[in-house]
Amino acid sequence: MTDTSPGGKPPPDPAPIMNSSIVAAKSHEFTTAAEPHEIHGSAFSIKDYQ
């Protein structure tokens, strides 16, 4: 049944691709969040200093 089912075999292939996508998305989120976070931190530091 699983052998005849096309959805049973494809999962293994798309599984790694999906994982890669998730990793890339996480990396992108971290980079995007790090940029604004750093800017915000700098602004806060400057405001505190002033």
Q: Tell me, yes or no, whether 5 lies in a domain.
A: no
| CA–CA distance, 7 with 2 (Å, rounded to integer) | 8
Chain centre to alpha carbon of residue 20: 9
Q: Tell me, yes or no, whether 4 lies in a domain.
A: no
> Could you tell me the pLDDT band of residue 11, with boundaries at 50, 70 and 90?
low
pTM: 0.22
- Number of domains within the chain: 1
Q: Tell me, yes or no, whether 8 lies in a domain.
A: no
Q: Tell me, yes or no, whether 6 lies in a domain.
A: no
Q: Output the pLDDT for position 10.
A: 53
Q: Tell me, yes or no, whether 32 lies in a domain.
A: yes
Using an 8 Å Cβ cutoff, are 22 and 14 in contact?
A: no
Using an 8 Å Cβ cutoff, are 13 and 7 in contact?
A: no
Q: Tell me, yes or no, whether 9 lies in a domain.
A: no
Q: Tell me, yes or no, whether 7 lies in a domain.
A: no
Q: Which residue range(s) make up the domain with 26? A: 16-50
- Phi, psi for 41 (deg, rounded to 5): -60, -40
Whole-Å CA distances, 15 to 2, 21, 37, 41, 43: 17, 10, 32, 38, 42
Q: Tell me, yes or no, whether 21 lies in a domain.
A: yes
